[in-house]
C-alpha cells in the first residue's frame, strides 16, 4: 500500500467513517479511529505504521513478520503494528473491519450487518 500519509488517511476515512458509530479524532498527536468510545486503530505517522486492535496477531505475524509485528510496548495489549508500505489493501481492510467489530456494541454490529445486507 502507498505510504503517502495523506492517501493512507483518506483510505482509512473512506473505509471506516461510513461504519456505524465510528469517529475520527487525534490520539497523542496521531490520527485515530474510535467506536463505542474505544480506540481500534491509530496511525503512527512518524514511523508510517498503523497500530490496530486484534486478537489474532500471532496469525498475522506468522503470515508476514515484516508487515505485522509488535514492539515491547504492545506486548500486553491486543494490538499489533502494521507497516503501511507493505500491507495489501485487502488485508488491511479485513483487519480494520475485524477491529471495528471487536470494539463495537451489539447495536452497532446489527446496524453494520444491515448496512452490508442493503449494499
Instruction: Say yes or no to pLDDT of 1 above 70.
Output: no
* SS3 state of residue 77: coil
How many domains does one find in the chain?
Answer: 1
* SS3 state of residue 86: coil
Instruction: Please state, in angstroms and rounded to a whole number, the distance separating the CA atoms of residues 31 and 64.
Output: 25
Instruction: Please state, in angstroms and rounded to a whole number, the distance separating the CA atoms of residues 32 and 100.
Output: 12
Instruction: Say yes or no to pLDDT of 81 above 90.
Output: yes
CATH number at residue 95: 3.90.1150.30
Instruction: Say yes or no to pLDDT of 2 above 60.
Output: no
For residue 29, the surrounding DSSP H or E stretch is none
Position with higher pLDDT, 116 vs 3: 116
Q: How confident is the model at residue 45 (pLDDT cuts 50, 70, 90)?
A: confident
**17: containing domain:** 5-117
Instruction: Please state, in angstroms and rounded to a whole number, the distance separating the CA atoms of residues 63 and 58.
Output: 8
Residue 40's nearest CA partner among 99, 84, 107 is: 99
Amino acid at each position: 500500500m502507498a505510504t503517502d500519509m495523506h492517501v493512507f488517511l483518506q483510505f482509512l476515512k473512506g473505509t471506516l467513517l461510513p461504519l456505524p458509530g465510528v469517529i475520527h479524532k487525534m490520539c497523542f498527536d496521531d490520527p485515530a479511529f474510535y467506536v463505542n468510545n474505544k480506540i481500534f486503530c491509530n496511525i503512527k505517522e512518524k514511523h508510517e505504521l498503523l497500530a490496530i486492535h486484534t486478537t489474532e496477531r500471532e496469525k498475522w505475524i506468522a503470515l508476514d513478520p515484516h508487515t505485522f509485528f509488535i514492539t515491547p510496548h504492545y506486548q500486553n495489549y491486543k494490538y499489533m503494528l502494521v507497516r503501511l508500505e507493505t500491507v495489501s489493501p485487502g488485508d488491511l481492510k479485513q483487519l480494520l473491519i475485524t477491529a471495528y467489530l471487536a470494539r463495537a456494541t451489539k447495536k452497532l454490529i446489527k446496524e453494520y450487518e444491515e448496512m452490508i445486507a442493503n449494499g
